Amino acid sequence: MKLLFIINPVAGKGKTRDAIPIIEHFCRQRGIQYKIRETKGPGDATLIVREHSTAYSAVIAAGGDGTVLEVTNGLSGKNIPLGILPLGSGNDFARAVKIPIGMTQLEKALNIIADTTPQFVDLVSFDGRVFLNIASIGFDAEIIRDLHKISHFIKGKSAYLISVFLKFITYKPKDVELLLDGRKIITRVFLTAVCNGICYGGGMMVNPNGSITDGLLDVILIKPVPRYKIPFLLLKFIKGKHINLPYVTSYQCKEVQISSKENLAVNVDGENPINTPITLLLKPLSIRIFGNL
């Protein structure tokens, strides 16, 4: 086994580098050949993987969901497995493949890579790129968009809390048109999540019944609710207890097209790479991943 580790040094509040001696000790102890490369900025992980991954039997993303997203795009079209060392702030896709999270669980995550056979899981393509977990528009996507702006001035959890508070008092529902395998739905939404995985936002269970191997996307559509009900909805949302609420509808399909008269922000695995319109297409069992599936 020969592993390429891609480490994002700013993930996990800048503590990801602490994993390097643990990784090195583990690989030496298990007789694993390895190379460690640190990213230097956005997009760097994708470029490193595209240029160097063919010499390795697997590529390991050490960081958060953004690092996993970049490494996944670098591996797109390559028959090289992905491993995840979830050391970031969200680590949501790691939950879908049941990988232990955090520095204290690092050796357990490394053992999964060393001792298990990677399994095929579904992938989602959009705009020439791919992702593994969840894309969304509406309330949550605007929080992420605004968070990226606020974080230039305020760091850490305070930036997130400010973004949530501001969105709570200013947010207006969105008029959207959805095409789900050609079925048209014109509606107003609080948010719409297109899910391969089960959770986002650091463990919020948007899609508690989801599967990353069933060949289907789950579309969770939440209609507008009175502002005073939003905290109640979010509490249900966090625990995955929202699916049966009267203003929540779920669908399954292979292709989703989302458009709006507005230029809506799209959240893709915690990033805001594009705006609507967007087409999301499921690619069944298209990438191999180490995990407990």
- The series of mean pLDDT values per 10 residues for the chain, 293 residues long, is 95 88 97 96 95 96 95 95 93 94 96 97 95 94 81 66 82 96 97 95 91 97 93 90 95 98 92 90 97 91
Total-model pTM: 0.92
Residue 220: predicted pLDDT: 97
Output the pLDDT for position 156: 59
User: In this predicted structure, what is the pLDDT of residue 291?
Assistant: 96
Q: How far apart are CA 186 and CA 176, in angstroms?
A: 6
Structural domains of the chain, ranges and CATH numbers in brackets: 2-116 (3.40.50.10330), 134-284 (2.60.200.40)
